[in-house]
Structure 1
Amino acid sequence: MTVAVLTYLRNAYLAQLLPALIEQAGAVAGARVRILVVDNDPAGGAEQTAAGARPDGAGPEIVYVHEPEPGIVAGRNRALDESAHEHLLVFIDDDELPRPGWLAALLAARERHGCAAVTGPTPPVFETAPDPWVAACGVFDSWEAADGARVRSADTGNLLLDLGRVRALRLRFDPRYGLTGGEDSLFTRSLTLAGEEIRFAAGAVVDKRVPARRARREWVLRRAHRSGSTWARVRIDTAPRARAALRLGYAAKGLARAGRDGALALLARARGDVASRAAHEVSARGGLGMVVGALGGSVAEYGRPAGPGASGASGASGEGAS
């Protein structure tokens, strides 16, 4: 089994995550676990961090690979390639920390249900106290389900995959989503549409760190716009037929949502209701994103600055997984 960490310019986070993964691997009886670090930094800056994670040489094998092609899809597909001879692959993001029992809970759910994939909760941990608007917006909330419930799609920041079933379906992460995010939704939705199951393991919890630069209204609204775009794109790309009608339908739905929630946000602002204002502003911006995605456009959240030697806000993890 491989536990894969996609990383980009987050060596301090990675240095905290790797010891936690070593501990998780040691707590799983009878399983051979290796840790794979996929570094999307053009300069390969995470190599020393990965090499120093086992100073005494004890614990599971840690494999470092450098993936210079920009984008989260390149990193995820590299993890698939590096796990070609493995039966199971577990994804976790470099800005996350697993709680005790996380890996064991993923494995137990798979054993219990015989499913193709398992996911779990990803509650936020704010590095600075968010303002009331950000706290109420809902963008950072972990989605929840009953333990063992079937889910239609999942976030690859906390995901176990049965690689035998993935290979049988010839599934890969779609390069069209490399700089926009949403690749995990497309991948896992394709998995369930093919008849496979994803189960929710309530005990497989990873905490997702939210830095101060994300805990801002401007960032949240940009993310909502991008999420609306990829939401529409994923559903159109996985539709078996009548895609033209779907495009028109989602565009109309997005416009209606933007207008309705935009008006409700103004009313909430007038009466001083911060929570309602935040929810409606996020929904309105998501509606505008739906229009973009439905009409064939995309929102490149993870693009790097142009120019030699440039390093920006994107990579295998970038501003975080989608």
Structure 2
Amino acid sequence: MVSNSQDTYNSKPSLRASVIIPTYNRARYLFDTIESIAQQELSGDFEIIVVDNAPSSALKSQVENLGARLPASLRYVPEPRSGLHHARHCGARAAESDILVYCDDDIIASPRWLEALLAPYRDNAVACIGGKCLPRWETPPPSWLASIPEGYFSLLDYGNDPLSLPDDKMIYGNNLSVRKQVLFEVGGFNPDGFGDRRLIWYRGDGECGLQRRLRAKGYKIFYAPGAVIEHRLSPERLTPERLRRRAFDSGIEANFCYYRYQQPSLGRLAVYFFDRATRYIYHRLVKRIVLERKPEEYFLRESINAAFYLGQLLHTLHLLRYPALRSHCLRENYLD
């Protein structure tokens, strides 16, 4: 059940939701996202909060000008600290509703997205709700894309039936809502992506970390199939180079989880380093030789696997070298 303790942050019960859109130098898509949300078929009021993780006066002015002509309340909030988790928490603190709705700045929301996303909160044990994320291809996808896991594009479809999610299923942060009080009660989001790539070693499991915290406290996570968004996928996101970078980042995230939840000794971590190195070499070199007569898509898949293990390998090396990174991975929460 949801705690009855008072939230330390202001809220307006009359607002059904605060929609929070973290953004980082992507105004190209942001305003289409805002327009699709502002036109929601929702009984009741809601607000939209744009959290700028690369604050600029130009974007602030554009958001304020757009807000003057939209039917929904629209606010601009700057968050200069690099990191998606900082932007998400900043938006939560600024929000005036008891229900926080998170989406990315490159999605298009279906007209009844919010209505479907909010309805399951009638059950007080439900603390977090997500929905479908379908692709909106800007160009026809290449044929080899079928061999790439949908998670690389933040796509999600658990079917057409409402579902209380088991522990092995997660929802993505591009279509996620959570009770504000509960978010702060459990400790918020874990680190996620960083606009500043120099901070990439501090990446973590983001919304998956939040969902682990929620489940540890006994809260339900719910899938609402009617809460549909489309994720805009541009041609530049479908290149082998971009997919390898995504795999590299995923390797760092997986390594964060290994260290945070397994808490290996330094000796065990050193053994793990050599294991990751072996896997990287296998996928980078050996399988390429074995598969030399296979179609090109096999080479692409193996290069993506190699990038994943390279991310794990290098993150493990940083863990071995830097006590501050080890401490970062084991923090109780990342709210500050």
Query: Shorter chain as normaliser: what TM range?
Result: 0.7 to 0.9
Matching of residue 186 in structure 1 with residue 209 in structure 2: yes
Matched to 1:28, the amino acid is L
Which of 37, 49, 67 in structure 1 is aligned with 2:50?
37
Which residue number corresponds to residue 334 of structure 2?
none
TM superposition shift of 1:235: 3.7
Identity within the alignment, % = 23
Give the aligned partner of residue 293 of structure 2.
271
Q: Is it true that 1:289 corresponds to 2:311 in the alignment?
A: yes
Aligned twin of 1:163: 180
Q: Which has the higher strand share?
A: 2
SS of the residue corresponding to residue 117 of structure 2 reads helix
Aligned residue number for residue 241 of structure 2: 218
Q: CA deviation at 1:35?
A: 0.7
Q: Please, which moves more after superposition, 155-164 or 170-179?
A: 170-179
Compared CA separation, residues 92 and 266, structure 1 to 2 (3 A): farther
Higher relative contact order (Cα pairs below 8 Å, separated by 6+ residues) = 1
- Map 1:1-322 onto structure 2 (within 5 A): 1-24=17-40, 27-29=41-43, 31-56=44-69, 59-83=71-95, 85-111=96-122, 114-134=125-145, 136-138=147-149, 139-140=152-153, 142-146=155-159, 147-152=162-167, 153-174=170-191, 179-180=199-200, 181-182=203-204, 183-239=206-262, 242=264, 244=266, 247=269, 251=273, 254-255=276-277, 257-262=279-284, 263-268=286-291, 270-297=292-319
Q: Aligned partners of 1:243, 1:197: CA distance in 2, in Å?
A: 33
> 1:104: Cα distance to partner?
1.7
Q: Deviations over 1:27-78 (max 9, x none)?
A: 122x331111111233233223322334545x22111112223332321121
Q: Say if 1:123 and 1:271 are closer, same or farther in 2 by CA, change over 3 A.
A: farther
Residues 249-258 or 46-55, more deviating: 249-258
CA distance in 1, matches of 2:308, 2:76: 37
* Distance 1:275-1:34 versus aligned 2 partners, 3 A rule: same
Contact 1:130 1:215 (8 Å CA) reproduced:
yes
Change (3 A) 1:297 1:273: farther
Tell me how far apart the structure 2 counterparts of residues 55 and 46 of structure 1 sit (CA, whole Å).
Answer: 14
Which residue of 2 is the match for residue 320 of structure 1?
none
Query: 1:249, CA displacement in angstroms?
Result: 6.9
Encode CA deviations 1:168-221: one digit per residue, 9 max, x unaligned: 223354499784344333333333334333222222222112223222111111
Distance in 1 (CA, whole Å) between partners of 2:77 and 2:183 is 22
Instruction: Give the SS at the match of 2:208.
Output: helix
Once the two structures are TM-superposed, the CA of residue 289 in structure 1 deviates from its matched residue by 1.7
Alpha carbons of 1:176 and 1:221: their partners in 2 closer, same or farther (altered >3 Å)?
closer
Equivalent position amino acid for 1:232 in 2: N
SS at match of 1:65: strand
- State the 1:134 CA deviation: 4.5
Displacement of 1:130 in angstroms is: 3.9
Greater share of helix residues, 1 or 2? 2
Q: Structure 1 length as normaliser, TM-score?
A: 0.77
Q: More deviation in 258-267 or 210-219?
A: 258-267
CA distance in 1, matches of 2:174, 2:104: 5
Deviations 1:136-160 (A, max 9, x none): 3333262433541415443211110
Structure 2: state its 5+ residue gaps.
1-16, 321-336
**Residues 191 and 22 (structure 1 numbering): CA distance in 2 closer, same or farther, change over 3 Å?**
same
TM-aligned CA distance change 1:160 to 1:219, over 3 Å: same
* SS of 1:116 mapped into structure 2: strand
Which deviations, in whole Å up to 9, do the C-alpha atoms of 1:103-133 show, x marking residues without a partner?
1221123335832111223233332334444
TM (norm. structure 2) is 0.74
1:37 aligned partner, one-letter code = V
Aligned length: 291
Q: For residues 108 and 280 of structure 1, what CA distance do their matches in structure 2 show?
A: 43
CA contact (8 A) 2:89 2:188 kept: no
- Distance of 1:246 and 1:158 partners within structure 2: 37
Report the CA distance shift for 1:44/1:190 in structure 2 as closer, same or farther (over 3 A): farther
d(CA) in 1 for partners of 2:55 and 2:128?
31
